Amino acid sequence: MTDLEKSLLEVSELLYEKMKNILPQSDEAACGVKRLCEAMRYSALAPGKRLRPFLTVTTANIFGVSQSSALQTAAAAEFVHTYSLIHDDLPAMDNDDVRRGQPSCHKKFDEATAILAGDALLTLAFEVLSDKSTHSSNSVRCELIKSMAKAAGYRGMVGGQMMDLESDKKQLSINEIIHLQRLKTGEMFAVSCESGAILGNAAPNLRNLLRAYAHDIGLTFQITDDLLDAESDQGGKRQDKSSGKPTFVSAMGVEKAREQAKILAQQAVRHLNVFGKKADLLKDLAAYIVNRKN
C-alpha cells in the first residue's frame, strides 16, 4: 500500500467516526424526525472516495492545523457533497437508482424524505462550520462559511448543475463544458482544498495556489470520469450517468481527453512547488486521479 493509499484510508476512517458523532442519532429523534435522521446517516455514512475531505485534512496539515479542526471542516464539506448527491439522484434531476453501491436515498426511503435529508445535511454543514469547536477565531469561521456557501451555490455547484440540466437542450463547446465542470465539480474541490489554508490563516497567494491546484485536479477527475463512462459503453460494467449530455470525451475524443487529463495533472502539481515536500500527498493524488479505474 502506498503512502497515499494509507492516508486516504486513514482520513476516511477518521472522517467516518467524526461524522457518526456529528450526525443526529435516529433513536434520539423524539420530535418525530426519526426517518429523516435515518436517511441522513444512510447517505452520509455510505462508502465513498472522500476526496474532498482528504483535500481539507491534507492542506490543513501543511499549515499545522489541529486534526480536530481539520476533520470538522472536512465533515462539513462531505455533508454538502452528500446533499448534492441525494438531490442529483432524484427523478427531477439525474434519476439514478443507485449511489455508492447501494439504493439512492429516494429509493431507500422516498422522494420527500430524500429532499429533506439533503436540505438537513446542507444546513448541518454550516452549523458545524459556525461552531467554536471548529476554530476559535470568529473571522476564520466566517471565512469558512462564506467560501463554502459560494462554492455550493449559484456561482458554484448548484449553478453548474443547472448548466448540466440545460445541456440536454443544446450542444456545448469545449470551453462551455470546462466552465460547467469548474462550477459543478471544481468549486467544491477548490473550497475543500482552500479550507485547510483558511484554518491555518495562510497568505492569500498560498490559498490561490491551492485553489488553482484543486481546479485542475477537479477537471482531471471529471475527464477520467468521462473516460471511464466511455469505456463502459464499449463493454465495461460501469454505469454511464451522463448519457446524452456533452462530455469531455464527446467533445474531444478519447485520446485527446486522456492527454488533456495528463496535462492538467502535471499543471496541478506545478502549483504546489512552493510547498515543497509538505505537498507530496497532494502531488501523488494528482497522479492517482489520472490513473484511477473507478
Other beta carbons within 10 Å of 222: 25
pLDDT bin (cut points 50, 70, 90) of residue 38 is very high
How big is the chain by its Cα radius of gyration, in Å?
Answer: 19
**For all residues of the chain together, what is the average pLDDT?**
91
H helices of 23-50, where?
34-44
CB 156 within 8 A of CB 179: no
Number of domains in the chain: 1
Q: What pLDDT, in 10s, does the model give residues 63-111?
A: 999 999 999 999 999 999 999 999 999 999 989 999 988 999 999 999 9
Helices 204-233 and 187-199, interaxial angle, to 10°? 150
- Which pLDDT does position 1 carry in this prediction? 84
Q: Residue 235's pLDDT is what?
A: 43
- Element (H or E) spanning 117, and its range? helix 111-130
**241 pLDDT above the threshold of 60:** no
Buried b (16+ CB within 10 A) or exposed e, 12-50: bebbbebbeebbbebeeeeeebebbbbbbbbbbeeebeb
Domain with residue 86: its CATH number is: 1.10.600.10
In the prediction, which pLDDT does 233 show? 55
CA 251 to chain centre: 24
Residue 7 CB neighbour total at 10 angstroms: 18
The pLDDT of residue 45 = 96
Q: What is the pLDDT of residues 145-179, one digit of tens each?
A: 999 999 999 999 999 999 988 887 777 888 889 99
* Cβ contacts of 102 within 8 Å, gap of 6 or more: 46, 108
Please report the pLDDT score of residue 243 as a whole number: 54
pLDDT at 234 over 80: no
Which pLDDT belongs to residue 116? 97
Grid coordinates 437542450 are at which residue? 169
Q: What percent of the chain has pLDDT over 70?
A: 94
Residue numbers of the domain that contains 215: 3-291
Q: Give the burial string for 125-151 (b: 16+ CB within 10 Å, else e).
A: bbebbeeeebbeeeebbebbbebbbeb
Instruction: Give residue 28's pLDDT.
Output: 60
